[in-house]
Amino acid sequence: MDLKKRYQRIISKAFCMILAAVLLCSFPANAVLAESAEDDTSAVERILKAQKDIRTRKTGRYGMTPVYGKDLADGTYDIKCDSSSPFFKVRSASITVKDGEITASITIGSTSYLYVYQGTKSEAAKADRSEWISPKINEGRTTFTFPIEYLNADMDCAAFSKAREKWYDRKILFDASTLPAEALLIKLPDYDLIEQAINALDTEGAELIMDDNQYKPAGSEGTPQAVSIDLPDGEYSIEVNLIGGSGRASVSSPTLLTVREGKAYATLIWSSPYYDYMVIDDTMYKNLITDGGNSQFEIPITLMDDPMSVVADTTSMGDSLEIEYALTFYSDTVGEKGAIPQEAAKKVLFLAAGIIVFGGVLNYFVKKKRSR
């Protein structure tokens, strides 16, 4: 084979390697690209709105006053129950009223909580275990049943996390306006009208503390704590599994594991450019990509080898929508940073570039030899 054909084959192989590297660098790919990247201002505005409307607002609506058992007809009714936390989302609820006494049942869509307690987390920790409310579990859903005093007002409901083995403060509210008409012995105010009037006057911006990566509601507790890991500080790879949502979203695996001061942090690359923030234990983490590429976040790994609950906000369907996911990081898969697809792609690009340079030099000498 003459030098010219050999050179053509080298260039052809290099082209194929570059094409493969480009595909790897874009993994995971999204079939629909963003029409335009939103600027930082609009992203911050969305997060401010989420912080104000979801993270710090009380459950319920303006103008609500308590509705007691004496205000309700005897019977069992479905009712909407608001929760202050996306990690304790009430999927369905009902109340039973008898002789002015109310018993409530709430169902959450997971088995993440072992107990609830009618009070704060500090009160729950000090209470006798007999006062903790155990659930009934059916097909992956957990139902808690307990007496309540009223509807239409916040009540403390501490929840004990099975994975974290600690109590968390939650507030819930049973919305009397969602009861059927026959359940009410009183007439309720028009809450929609009241809320519209209040919103028209509400010009106060949400208070938010920001740093380079985190968006933290003012007055909230400390940031999530990353787990300790027995590795020297540096960068590694780790396998991660994502479940939740519609099942269509994914994250690149293995992903980058960064060890800082003996603590584990992960850099997640989503299969979509539309995720604008993530939430872990009521702390928000912003998207690190601002050029329209697939969303990327650095987050603390708070659990290893067990599902770690997170919330991610997506704008893929137009409106902002928070979705609950679970991430599992596998400690026995920790390896070299080069195992990450994007790092492997970089190596291919460098190799391909070297081949092209070598081919160019070779071609130069072939032409020079022929010109003699």
72: left (phi over 0), alpha (psi -120 to 50) or beta: beta
The predicted structure's pLDDT at residue 290: 78
Q: What does the pLDDT look like over 302-318, one tens digit per residue?
A: 999 999 989 998 887 76
Q: Do domains 31-54+223-339 and 58-201 have the same CATH topology?
A: yes
Distance CA 85, CA 117 (A): 16
Q: What does the pLDDT look like over 160-210, one tens digit per residue?
A: 998 889 999 999 999 999 999 999 999 998 877 777 766 665 444 444 455
Distance CA 155, CA 171 (A): 5
**DSSP 3-state assignment of 246?**
coil
Q: In CATH, which of 2.60.40.1850, 3.20.20.70, 2.40.50.100, 3.40.50.300 is domain 31-54+223-339?
A: 2.60.40.1850
CA distances from 361 to 9, 130, 225, 348, 364 (A): 15, 81, 54, 20, 5
Q: Which residues of 184-223 are buried (b: 16+ CB within 10 A; e: fewer)?
A: beeebeebeeeeeeeeeeeeeebebeeeeebbbbeeeeee
Using 70 as the pLDDT threshold, list the residues of the chain that sit under it: 1-58, 197-222, 318, 341-372
The predicted structure's pLDDT at residue 11: 56
Domain ranges of the chain: 3-24+341-370, 31-54+223-339, 58-201
The predicted structure's pLDDT at residue 206: 42
Q: How is 115-146 classified by DSSP, letter by letter?
A: EEESS-HHHHHHS-GGGSBPPEEETTEEEEEE
CATH code of the domain occupying 58-201: 2.60.40.1850
The predicted structure's pLDDT at residue 70: 96
Whether this prediction's pTM lies above 0.75 is answered by no
